[in-house]
A = this chain, B = another copy of it.
Amino acid sequence: MSLSSWPTGSAICFGGDYNPEQWPREVWDEDVALMREAGVNLVSVGIFSWAMLEVREGEFDFAWLDGLLDLLHRNGIAVDLGTPTASPPAWFFAAYPQARVVAKDGTVQGFGSRGMASPSSPEYRRAATRVAGKLAERYGSHPAVVMWHVHNEYGAPVGEDFSAAAGTAFREWLRTRYGSLDALNAAWGTAFWGQRYVEWEHVGLPSATPSVANPAQRLDFARFTDHQLRACFLAERDAIRAHATQPVTTNFMANECPTTDLFAWAREVDVVSNDHYLTAADERGHVGLALAADLTRSVAGGRPWILMEHSTSAVNWQPRNVAKRAGEMARNSLSHLARGADGILFFQWRASRSGAEKFHSAMVPHAGTGSRVWREVVALGAALERLAPVRGSRVEADVAVLWDTESFWAQDLEWRPSVDVQHRERVRAYYERLWRDGRTVDFVEPSQDLSAYRLVVAPASYLLRERDAANLTRFVEQGGTLLVSFFSAIVDEHDAVHAGGFLAPLREVLGVAVEEFLPLRAGETTRVAWAPAGVAARTLVADVWQDDLVVDGAEVVGTHLDGPAAGGAAITRHAYGAGTAWYVSTRLDVDALEPVLEQVYADAGLAPTGLPQGVEVVTRHGEDADFVVAINHTSEDVKLALGDGQELLGATAVAGTLDLPSGSVVVLRTAPRRPGGDGRP
């Protein structure tokens, strides 16, 4: 998309979900006046309005929406128009009870909540595309409408569906995938436990079973679930495109929704958008935010994206919904912007008085406009206006972290060697180490061209296809630095252990072989003697896992001091081709990873950033300027030397160092370090 086709033109999008159907008409006028006060330029409308738009089956009422869009347009507020298909009306479920989602144990998920229907239901597919098409037909040329927002958070609140319709669709999907039952029997390894199929009609969903279900069937069911959800999106998108030309998006939940493979989804949308909420229990939630933002930019292929939902303060659906404090909303928003977001929107405009989410914060909170939250919303709107020059600039990264949704699906299945090995935990730990070290990170699929990166980290590549392992090997051979964490390259795409054993496809590049897994008992910790050449020796504390490692060419830089692998290699480094490959065979926490990554950076030619702990700095590269965003998450004021230029938020000139008080953000416009940027549109 060219800059000129951005939904809000040259402005950064600012606004939120707007659900005026919850309020009397007189409130609408107040809303619009407040939106203007806050600088809102984009609202998402109609996301849960199916029952208001199609009152009974086939009986449409657009009058209220006509009026609403006109009102917004008159006030200069653009509309991201939702299709309401995330929550079909009561009449739909009454007419088509077979379209209800069924849980694994057979429990039917009824109406009265956020009412997702079965993504495999033909009745749902028909009804959803009809209402989407009707909306596009009516509003495809409405001047307020600048973008289409299909559905809402595909995969939430439920993704997997065990209905009869899903069973039928699963068989069809498998027939297409495998062609023959012989191929399916081979892929699923049905010789184990006597599961061989002789008729397609006998193949079913992995519903409740006496023991664990076939893992390859489970993995295919995860692929199927993602496919069915995406098929729903594609059907709606195409129904819209038949009548409208505005870009189409759907809001992702990066790193939070296990049923969608966002790299695949991002290829189907015109603009990537994402929802992000802090995990209240996480005292370093801003690191999780950065991870989600980097992931969103990565699935978008580096293109600018929209933060479609986040919260002004607390949410309502976590066990303890910690509120944000002064300045936190701005720090969150500008961290997203630093990592590529060209739109900052909230759920939702005005806090609901009723319903399941009444305790969710909003731009206009229950306390009204006399509140801290409202004042900060207005200030954020003003700040984003000042940041308009950032629009369209790009983030570039030297470091990539592997992200393979299929690997995560496979690792999440039952009966893995240790319940303590969790891909989310490992990805977060390595990401947080990189974050603390000031590294800007892309997430990449293992099949991607990696030549743009100096360092690739693979924290959780349990499922790794041979051809992807070859891609990693080639990367090292050609001079790259690779770090692989334990429990990687174990199985192929059918969750079958690689011929040659664990880690076999990476054995050559890593110079080690895994003879056996040595999981530790609950709570057990071990020590690693860390002693690479030329570095002061240290002892690192580890837990959860050890390998019985056979060193075959690699240099041992860390040795287990205790545990079942006592005396054996814990961390290895292998010069291979023009590059270097590291293997870390135990679980080190973020602190213990510090000295290891320090050496890895040296191999990768990455100089220390010298940033104070807790200060986040990310650069966006524009066509004729760079924009350095710096965020101080600490309780101390700091000084930074980020170059000379213009600080955009305060509109002050900077030469030499700048002050970054505790909790504050600066955006420094400097001369581009790479003149002309990266030349991408």
Interface residues in chain A, defined as those with a beta carbon under 8 Å from any beta carbon in chain B: 19, 21-22, 48-52, 55-56, 84, 87-91, 93-94, 101, 103, 105-116, 156-158, 188-199, 201-204, 206-217, 280-281, 283, 313-314, 316-317, 319-323, 325, 351-359, 361, 365-368, 371-373, 414-420, 491, 494-497, 499-502, 513-522, 548, 564
A521 to B320, Cβ gap below 8 A? yes
A89 and B157 contact, Cβ closer than 8 Å, known pairs A94-B199, A320-B520, A321-B519: no
B564 to A113, Cβ gap below 8 A? no
B115 to A210, Cβ gap below 8 A? yes
A209 and B516 contact, Cβ closer than 8 Å, known pairs A194-B48, A198-B91, A415-B317: no
CB<8 Å pairs between A and B, sample of 27 = A22-B192, A48-B193, A52-B196, A55-B198, A90-B197, A91-B198, A103-B208, A106-B108, A109-B209, A109-B210, A110-B204, A112-B213, A114-B211, A157-B211, A192-B354, A192-B355, A212-B356, A214-B356, A283-B521, A314-B417, A314-B516, A317-B415, A319-B418, A354-B497, A359-B517, A368-B500, A372-B548
A637 CA to B45 CA, complexed, in Å:
72
A605 CA to B372 CA, complexed, in Å:
39
Q: Which residues of B contact A87 (CB under 8 A)?
A: 193-195
B316 to A84, Cβ gap below 8 A? no
B368 to A501, Cβ gap below 8 A? yes
Which residue of the partner chain B has the closest CB to A317? B415
A114 to B522, Cβ gap below 8 A? no
B352 to A194, Cβ gap below 8 A? no
A197 CA to B651 CA, complexed, in Å:
53
A183 to chain B, nearest CB (A): 14
Which residue of the partner chain B has the closest CB to A90? B202
**The 4 nearest A-B residue pairs measured at CB:** A189-B354, A192-B355, A113-B209, A157-B211
Number of copies: 3
A149 to chain B, nearest CB (A): 14
A113 to B516, Cβ gap below 8 A? no
A322 to B519, Cβ gap below 8 A? yes
A22 to chain B, nearest CB (A): 4
Instruction: Please pick, from B110, B208, B516, B520, the residue contacting A107 in the complex, using a CB distance under 8 A.
Output: B208
Instruction: Please pick, from B94, B322, B548, the residue contacting A201 in the complex, using a CB distance under 8 A.
Output: B94
A522 CA to B322 CA, complexed, in Å:
10
B113 to A193, Cβ gap below 8 A? yes
Q: Which residues of B contact A519 (CB under 8 A)?
A: 314, 320-323
B22 to A189, Cβ gap below 8 A? yes
Q: Which residues of B contact A201 (CB under 8 A)?
A: 94
Q: Which residues of B contact A208 (CB under 8 A)?
A: 103, 107-110
A516 to B313, Cβ gap below 8 A? yes
Q: Which residues of B contact A316 (CB under 8 A)?
A: 415-417
Instruction: Please pick, from B199, B355, B515, the residue contacting A189 in the complex, using a CB distance under 8 A.
Output: B355
Which residue of the partner chain B has the closest CB to A494? B354
Q: Which residues of B contact A416 (CB under 8 A)?
A: 316, 359
A357 CA to B521 CA, complexed, in Å:
20
A364 to chain B, nearest CB (A): 11
Q: Which residues of B contact A499 (CB under 8 A)?
A: 353
B212 to A548, Cβ gap below 8 A? no
A194 to B501, Cβ gap below 8 A? no
A501 to B367, Cβ gap below 8 A? yes
A113 to B211, Cβ gap below 8 A? yes
A525 to chain B, nearest CB (A): 14
* Sample of 7 further A-B pairs with CB below 8 A, known A48-B193, A365-B515: A49-B194, A90-B197, A90-B198, A314-B519, A320-B420, A351-B497, A358-B496
A94 CA to B564 CA, complexed, in Å:
47
A501 and B366 contact, Cβ closer than 8 Å, known pairs A101-B210, A354-B494: yes
B314 to A195, Cβ gap below 8 A? no
Q: Which residues of B contact A496 (CB under 8 A)?
A: 353-354, 358
Which residue of the partner chain B has the closest CB to A23? B191
B113 to A213, Cβ gap below 8 A? yes
B105 to A107, Cβ gap below 8 A? yes
Q: Which residues of B contact A351 (CB under 8 A)?
A: 497
A52 CA to B50 CA, complexed, in Å:
52
B210 to A157, Cβ gap below 8 A? yes
A11 CA to B320 CA, complexed, in Å:
53
Which residue of the partner chain B has the closest CB to A157? B211
A56 to B210, Cβ gap below 8 A? no
A355 and B193 contact, Cβ closer than 8 Å, known pairs A110-B208, A366-B502, A417-B314: yes
Q: Which residues of B contact A420 (CB under 8 A)?
A: 320
A210 and B116 contact, Cβ closer than 8 Å, known pairs A48-B193, A52-B196, A281-B521: yes
A112 CA to B193 CA, complexed, in Å:
9
A225 to chain B, nearest CB (A): 14
Which residue of the partner chain B has the closest CB to A105? B107
B158 to A210, Cβ gap below 8 A? yes
A445 to chain B, nearest CB (A): 24
A323 CA to B514 CA, complexed, in Å:
13
Q: Which residues of B contact A365 (CB under 8 A)?
A: 501, 515-516
A16 to chain B, nearest CB (A): 15
A116 CA to B188 CA, complexed, in Å:
19
B21 to A419, Cβ gap below 8 A? no
Which residue of the partner chain B has the closest CB to A502? B366
A419 to B199, Cβ gap below 8 A? no
Instruction: Please pick, from B281, B414, B417, B517, the residue contacting A522 in the complex, using a CB distance under 8 A.
Output: B281
Q: Which residues of B contact A56 (CB under 8 A)?
A: 198
A202 CA to B359 CA, complexed, in Å:
27
Instruction: Please pick, from B22, B216, B320, B419, the residue contacting A419 in the complex, using a CB distance under 8 A.
Output: B320
A192 and B517 contact, Cβ closer than 8 Å, known pairs A90-B199, A94-B199, A111-B204: no
B515 to A112, Cβ gap below 8 A? no
A400 to chain B, nearest CB (A): 29
B202 to A564, Cβ gap below 8 A? no
A195 to B323, Cβ gap below 8 A? no
Q: Which residues of B contact A194 (CB under 8 A)?
A: 48-52, 84, 87-89, 115
A89 CA to B199 CA, complexed, in Å:
11
Q: Which residues of B contact A522 (CB under 8 A)?
A: 281, 319-320
A216 and B52 contact, Cβ closer than 8 Å, known pairs A193-B113, A320-B521: no
Q: Which residues of B contact A501 (CB under 8 A)?
A: 365-368
A632 CA to B414 CA, complexed, in Å:
36
A188 to B114, Cβ gap below 8 A? no
A267 CA to B355 CA, complexed, in Å:
33
